[in-house]
């Protein structure tokens, strides 16, 4: 990582190496140490204010040729700012006339990757690795781009070897990313769990783990992780996690693989959770989609508890309000109508579910 940043703050004069050392070490830098305008702009960029130095480099490029360090800076900082097209434009303008460092090449590779221009991205990762072959960030970038481009098979083996050779949190995160990209969700969870063990305070690691928990439909641990680390999610994402956890209880209660006592207990827990969620979300304008989905999913818990009268009342109320009812909820409603001896209402639902074209039977899921 040291090499990846040295030229970003490459001093225009040798005596500025003190400033660089302070920045690399993670110590705060006294602005008084910034002896030139360019140093000051670089410090601002590292703090997140990238526009001034990018404007400066744009103007300097019109006034005269930039040196390789300045072009590297431009590529990297524009990448920080999320200006992928600018990175690509700068790279294509200068790559044949200046000797770019590995970090400049890597910045261009990321931009091409973000634009899904896989061949250019992979070629640039290879070029950057020729300059710095042991840099783990470059290796990770190469592997992830291979996965994103649909070439995850070979990349997965590379990721496994990288994690075995250097069992760091970052390398296990890369392995989890590759496993997920190749639909090896359980392997992704194992690798992500190992990354959390190695770096339990890393926001990046925890966020990756949360995404993998969700992908594996491990709803309650995902919600617990977000509850303990609220910075990982937005309010909307947190509502989805709450909704997923309640819906998971409904799925467990509906499936006839447990005793009736267990199913009733789980359904009661779900109903209690839905009561809390619906009370909080009913008057929140930002939560209306979650509110509607929670009302629908709650029907499954009512069916398990054989409260079919309330289920029918809620179902018909939602239909009258214009809700688009998913197939699994319509099946629950049909079961409730049958339980209440109302076959005339159950029949059209079941016909539309199982014989949508009037003659061909089709299977549907009994849960979400």
Residue 32 has pLDDT above 60, yes or no: no
Give 327-352 as a DSSP string.
Answer: HHHHHHHHHHHHHTT-HHHHHHHHHH
N residues, the chain: 368
What is the reported pLDDT for 154? 76
What is the average pLDDT across 162-168? 91
Say if residue 167 is in the same domain as residue 244.
no
Q: What is the DSSP letter of 65?
A: P
Residue 341 has pLDDT above 90, yes or no: yes
Choosing from 79, 110, 133, the residue where a domain stops is 133
pLDDT in tens, 201-260: 999 999 999 999 999 999 999 999 999 999 999 999 999 999 999 999 999 999 888 899
Could you tell me the CA-to-CA distances from 367 to 12, 73, 247, 261, 301 in Å, in that order?
65, 53, 9, 20, 11
Could you tell me the CA-to-CA distances from 155 to 136, 158, 159 in Å, in that order?
14, 5, 6
Say if residue 5 is in the same domain as residue 121.
yes
Domain containing residue 191 = 140-216
CATH number of the domain that residue 188 is part of = 1.25.40.10
Mean pLDDT score of the chain: 86
Say if residue 313 is in the same domain as residue 275.
yes
Residue 324 has pLDDT above 70, yes or no: yes
Say if residue 13 is in the same domain as residue 76.
yes
Say if residue 124 is in the same domain as residue 27.
yes
CA distance 99 to 49: 27
Say if residue 93 is in the same domain as residue 160.
no
Say if residue 289 is in the same domain as residue 162.
no
Residue 282 has pLDDT above 60, yes or no: yes
Could you tell me the CA-to-CA distances from 70 to 9, 10, 42, 44, 61 in Å, in that order?
9, 8, 11, 16, 10
Say if residue 144 is in the same domain as residue 95.
no
Place of tokens 């499954």: 300
Q: How far is CA 12 from the centre of its chain?
A: 39
What is the reported pLDDT for 353? 87
Q: How far is CA 4 from the centre of its chain?
A: 25
Residue 58 has pLDDT above 80, yes or no: yes
Say if residue 17 is in the same domain as residue 90.
yes
CA distance 118 to 239: 35
Establish if 177 belongs to a structural domain: yes
Per-residue confidence band for 359, with pLDDT thresholds at 50, 70 and 90? low
Within 13 Å of residue 94, how many CA atoms lie on the same side as its CB?
27
Establish if 99 belongs to a structural domain: yes
Establish if 317 belongs to a structural domain: yes
Establish if 44 belongs to a structural domain: yes
**Number of domains into which the chain is organized:** 3
Establish if 21 belongs to a structural domain: yes
Residue 179 CB contacts under 8 Å (≥ 6 apart), including other chains: 156, 159, 185, 187, 188, 191
Establish if 221 belongs to a structural domain: no
Say if residue 117 is in the same domain as residue 14.
yes
Say if residue 11 is in the same domain as residue 101.
yes
Q: How far is CA 97 from the centre of its chain?
A: 38
Say if residue 126 is in the same domain as residue 5.
yes
CA distance 195 to 332: 41
Establish if 188 belongs to a structural domain: yes
What is the reported pLDDT for 368? 55
Q: Are 67 and 57 in contact (CB under 8 A)?
A: no
Q: Are 102 and 5 in contact (CB under 8 A)?
A: no
Could you tell me the CA-to-CA distances from 9 to 3, 4, 15, 108, 314 in Å, in that order?
11, 10, 12, 18, 63
Establish if 6 belongs to a structural domain: yes
């Amino acid at each position: 990582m040291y090499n990846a940043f040295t030229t970003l703050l490459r001093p225009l004069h040798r005596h500025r190496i003190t400033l660089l050392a302070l920045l690399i070490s993670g110590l705060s830098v006294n602005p008084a140490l910034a002896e030139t305008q360019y140093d000051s702009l670089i410090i601002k960029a590292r703090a997140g204010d990238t526009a001034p130095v990018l404007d400066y480099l744009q103007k300097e490029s019109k006034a005269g040729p930039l040196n390789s360090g300045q072009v590297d800076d431009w590529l990297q900082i524009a990448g920080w700012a999320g200006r992928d097209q600018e990175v690509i434009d700068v790279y294509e303008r200068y790559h044949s006339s200046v000797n770019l460092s590995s970090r400049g090449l890597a910045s261009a590779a990321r931009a091409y990757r973000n634009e899904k221009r896989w061949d250019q991205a992979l070629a640039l990762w290879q070029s950057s690795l020729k300059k710095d072959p042991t840099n783990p960030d470059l290796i990770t970038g190469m592997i992830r781009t291979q996965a994103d481009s649909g070439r995850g098979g070979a990349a997965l083996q590379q990721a496994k070897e990288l994690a075995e050779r250097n069992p760091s949190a970052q390398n296990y995160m890369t392995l989890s990313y590759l496993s997920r990209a190749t639909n090896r969700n359980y392997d992704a969870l194992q690798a992500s769990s190992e990354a959390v063990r190695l770096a339990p305070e890393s926001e990046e690691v925890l966020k990756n783990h949360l995404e993998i928990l969700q992908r594996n439909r491990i709803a309650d641990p995902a919600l617990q992780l977000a509850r303990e680390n609220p910075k990982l999610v937005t309010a909307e994402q947190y509502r989805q996690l709450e909704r997923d956890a309640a819906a998971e209880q409904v799925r467990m209660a509906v499936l006839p693989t447990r005793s009736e006592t267990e199913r009733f207990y789980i359904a009661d827990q779900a109903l209690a959770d839905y009561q809390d969620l619906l009370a909080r979300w009913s008057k929140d304008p930002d939560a209306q989609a979650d509110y509607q989905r929670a009302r629908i999913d709650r029907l499954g818990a009512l069916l398990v508890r054989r409260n079919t009268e309330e289920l029918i009342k809620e179902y018909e109320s939602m239909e009258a309000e214009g809700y688009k009812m998913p197939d699994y909820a319509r099946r629950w409603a049909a079961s409730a109508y049958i339980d209440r001896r109302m076959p005339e209402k159950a029949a059209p639902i079941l016909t539309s579910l199982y014989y949508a074209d009037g003659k061909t039977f089709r299977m549907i899921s009994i849960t979400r």
